[in-house]
Chains A and B, each alone.
Chain A
Amino acid sequence: MQLTLWTYEGPPHIGAMRIATSMTDLHYVLHSPQGDTYADLLFTMIGRSRKRPPVTYTTFQARDLGGDTAQLFQDSVNDAYQRFKPKAMIVGASCTAELIQDDPGGLARALSLPIPVIPLELPSYQKKENWGASETFYHIVRGLVSVDKSISAQQYQEKLAASKQEGQNPSCNILGATALGFRNRDDVQEIRGLLESMGIEVRVVAPLNASVADLSKIPEADFNVSLYPEISQLTCTWLNKTFGQPFTKIIPIGTKATKVFIEEVAQLANLNPETTLENQEERARWYAKSVDSTYLTDKRVFIFGDASHVIAVAKVAAEEIGFKVVGLGTYSREFAREVREAAKLYDVEALITDDYLEVEQKVAELSPDLVLGTQMERHIAKRLGIPCAVISAPVHVQDFPARYSPQMGFEGANVLFDTWIHPLMMGLEEHLIMMFRDDFEFSAKAAPSHLGHGSSSAKEHTLAVTQTSDAAVAQATQVNAELFNGANPANLWDAAAEKELGKIPFFVRGKARRNTEKFAVEHGISQITIETLYDAKAHYGR
């Protein structure tokens, strides 16, 4: 059993629902108890969909358990087919139905429906949402794409090349975008525009807005753009093995990665990337270069989310904005290796966990200046009083915005710059607060004034938050204290030094406290004075 305040991913059948809901003529029959229809809200409310998800639930109740739940399932499949007349169907069980073992696949097969019916095996007690989505997408593609087993992947590519007409544009598919994916709608638009501007024909975008017929055309393209590896890598690997279609490995988040992506795509399409690269207006890079952004240098940032966003975002933070990455991690265990590799670039150890409490403890320990994470890190950041921006699912309704807000491509880089900088205190305010501490309006304890918490009641609120944040930092220090042979460094402070510490702006105070205590313990100092504080400062630098 795992104690969970917040979960980063839903169960795997939610992943299957995301695939079904992404598509236009696929139906999903889910064997599940009454109440599991809550998942519809994810799409109709959070994703603001105009349509009900194409999902029929058996919604069994306790009284059904004594009877024939298998019959109930078969009736649901029949009814769903009659009513919705889908072009293909997927069937599976939710966590509770998995326990009663009715075998949805076998039961559906016995009905001999005149459409492909694809059974899903999604172990709810081991796997999670993204795995479920990836697995479902893979099984649908395998089920709907016909494979001529008599020819090899290489022969397939040769056949494809031979059938090509003179002057025909290179072509690709964009795979991995789903309903309820973080900014998938706009990422697809951005990347599609980019590819088309290079003269590449986009054949199939899937699963988002794809039909069953579209999927069967996937092998006709020259290569695949694997936009979200959490969802698409398994499928792209199979397509590569079966049809010899290569696929992209670069995630085009940030200006630099987008450029590398353009080069990668150009190579796969046999094109020259130069004109595309020359014609880009790089606003985000210029904004980061402009002197207003100098104060962002070495701001300490903690990054958490799904693997591909975390890896890409860390690069942008470090190389394009000049932050210092002090921690990074992911809940995507499937991609733990890649994230560990990435963490080495910043000389930190990757945190691979789906335990919210572990992430919280890590953030408290590091006390960064900024957290880039998921909706869950917003809870943590609120508790600790740290600025925060969202870079990855899980997200809530406010991160399915009406306006165009991709994360990918050049416009995505612009969006990232604005989004990440916004929660930080602006430069002038930061300077003035370091100089004058007792202003009645711009308090060092208050949130940045551009976030509009100026009123007195709001100030009290932020005050309370800051106090908890101090408490949390103190708590984290206690954790560290165990490393110091049982000595509790919090007891080391003399009153004057404690007061001096209070003059350090709140967003770096936690780090100053930690550094000083570490310094004291390492140098065998039993009482921290003002002098120790400044000795430590000189020792470690800012």
Chain B
Amino acid sequence: MNAIVDLPKDQISSVGKNIPIYKERGQREVFCGLTGIIWLHRKIQDAFFLVVGSRTCAHLVQSAAGVMIFAEPRFATAIIDDRDLAGIADAHEELDRVVKSLLTRRPDIKMLFLVGSCPSEVIKLDLSRAAQRLNKEFLNQCRILSYSGSGIETTFTQGEDACLASLVNEIPKPVVAGEKNLLIVGCLPDVVEDQFQRLFADLGIERVSFFPPRNSQQKIEIHSNTQYLLAQPFLADTARFIEERGAKRISAPFPFGIGGTTAWLKAAANQWGVTVAHFDKVTQPKIERAQKGLAHYLPMLENKRISFFPDSQLEIPLARFLSQECGMKVLEIGTPYLHKQHLEAELELLPENSRIVEGQDVEKQLDRCRSDKPDIVVCGLGLANPLEAEGITTKWSIELVFSPVHGYEQAADLAELFARPLNRSIRLAA
């Protein structure tokens, strides 16, 4: 059985290599953008995320985060009820009331995100206007922003994109350019951010800042002398708004694995005129150490066949890392959305026989997966245990968003995330 012929082909990838990109539509087994709150609320420490939605939205967020016991969670839901559905004006008053009682309870909150959901969007509740209105009221206490994390608009990590885009959008468009600076865009774990900070300093690139900041009070500098590097592949809107403020993107693969990290740093180093000798001097010891770490996991991964179900848009960079640096054979790379420009450098590095599928029809994809019989499948938690029960080893994909995986020091950790389930299935089978 080869269901692949049923897939409509997008135009052949324009980047020189002959990698077909298929498009598929049907039932999608993915998270909505609200899920981004789970890590964003940890990253921006004085921010609060208020979902305006239904009980379903509240249930989603708590099912994802509720295994942790919180003394004071920094997210909540304003649940729309049938009274709100009766008239929009009323809903705005209700929202104001909820925000006021929330900010009274939590006076330490400095930034409040009103997060749109499917219900709030279908009834066209204008959260950006609500944010503007409330901003006036809480002028000195709290900034209020809005973005959409709805399932109809966003898939999983696109929630972060929408959140960061709302943050950028709030920065006024600069009239004059400032000093040349480098902006690293995308939520990174604190430890990874610190490592990159040190690397850029050693390379002699000064004025580096990270976006989003850890604290809402930190100012972000974006102007026509700004160059930015994406640390995550899912930031289409954020990048667009950054460019509207005059900044320029440095095209690079994403910093996963040794090669990815080197190419990523190199792209910035080139813009700052760092000499090859100096670049090598800074990176070589790190590369050697990372290679040593990675070597532990190669025997487990080499020549193993892997398939990805769509989830986070990290799939293409990860497939590149696993095939280039870990010797894995990639069968299918599902991705919820493919931004060809941002992934240009990545597509260039993929092996020719990769099969990329944008979108999803989960039942058909499961058929393909069963007929491919990969050694390991990267998929969401809704599919992982059922596939394991069928005898297919899985790596649940959400962990890749929740773990430090970028940069040299984490290259081995990233490989280990894939080696662990393989190791485990061998160990438990014995």
Contact = CB atoms under 8 A, between A and B. Distances in A.
B97 A1 contact: yes
Contact of B381 (A44, A96, A394, A396): A44
Nearest to A42: B63
Given A1-B84, A7-B77, A126-B81, A34 B30 contact: yes
B6 to A, nearest CB: 13
A1 B381 contact: no
A34 B381 contact: no
Contact of A33 (B66, B76, B118, B380): B118
Interface in A518-533: none
B72 A383 contact: yes
Interface stretch (A58-66, A153-161, A162-170, A503-511): A58-66
Contacts of A375: 66
Nearest to B93: A1
A440 interface: no
Contacts of A2: 78-79, 81, 98
Contact of A52 (B77, B94, B101, B382): B382
A124 B54 contact: yes
A183 B58 CA distance: 24
Contacts of A46: 63
B59 A3 contact: no
Contacts of B59: 7, 10-11, 14
B382 A35 contact: no
Contacts of B28: 34, 37, 59, 61
Given A3-B98, A125-B82, A37 B384 contact: no
Contacts of A241: none
Contact of A10 (B55, B85, B105, B121): B55
Interface in A60-111: 60-62, 64-65, 76, 79, 83, 94-96, 99-100
Indicate the size class of the contact surface on chain B.
35 or more
A11 B55 contact: yes
B31 interface: yes
A51 B389 CA distance: 8
Interface residues of A, number: 63
Given A44-B386, A95-B54, A382-B69, A3 B152 contact: no
B119 to A, nearest CB: 5
B386 A60 contact: no
A187 B232 CA distance: 48
A14 B34 CA distance: 18
A128 B55 contact: yes
Contact of B62 (A6, A57, A65, A128): A6
A117 to B, nearest CB: 19
A56 B27 contact: yes
Nearest to A10: B59
A383 B73 CA distance: 11
Interface string B34-57: 110000000000000000101110
Nearest to A56: B27
Nearest to A57: B27
A458 to B, nearest CB: 15
A50 interface: yes
A508 to B, nearest CB: 22
A18 interface: no
Given A396-B66, A397-B67, A36 B382 contact: no
B374 interface: no
A383 B101 CA distance: 19
Q: Is the interface of B mostly helix, strand, loop or mixed?
A: helix
B122 interface: yes
A4 interface: yes
Contacts of B76: 3-5
B155 interface: yes
Contacts of B60: 35, 38
A468 B152 CA distance: 41
B380 to A, nearest CB: 8
B82 A126 contact: yes
Nearest to A49: B385
B260 interface: no
Contacts of B119: 95-96, 99
A379 interface: yes
B208 interface: no
A520 to B, nearest CB: 29
B423 to A, nearest CB: 21
A40 interface: yes
Contact of B56 (A5, A10, A60, A397): A10
B381 A41 contact: yes
Contacts of A7: 55, 58-59, 62, 77, 79
B34 to A, nearest CB: 7
A76 B64 CA distance: 27
B80 A1 contact: yes
A40 B382 contact: yes
A4 B58 contact: yes
A61 B29 contact: no
B363 A83 contact: yes
B94 A1 contact: yes
Interface of A: 1-7, 9-11, 13-14, 33-38, 40-42, 44-46, 48-52, 56-62, 64-65, 76, 79, 83, 94-96, 99-100, 123-126, 128, 357, 375, 378-379, 382-383, 394, 396-398, 465, 468
25 contacts: A1-B80, A2-B79, A3-B76, A3-B98, A5-B76, A6-B58, A6-B66, A7-B59, A10-B56, A11-B56, A35-B34, A35-B150, A50-B388, A52-B382, A52-B383, A60-B152, A61-B152, A83-B363, A96-B151, A125-B82, A125-B85, A126-B82, A382-B70, A382-B71, A383-B71
For the complex of A and B, 4 pairs with smallest distance between CB atoms:
A35-B32, A35-B151, A40-B382, A50-B389
Given A36-B32, A95-B56, 13 more contacts: A1-B81, A7-B77, A10-B55, A36-B56, A40-B383, A60-B152, A95-B55, A96-B54, A125-B81, A125-B85, A126-B81, A396-B67, A397-B67
Interface of B: 27-35, 52, 54-56, 58-60, 62-64, 66-67, 69-73, 76-82, 84-85, 91, 94-95, 97-98, 101-102, 105, 118-119, 121-123, 150-153, 155, 363, 380-386, 388-389
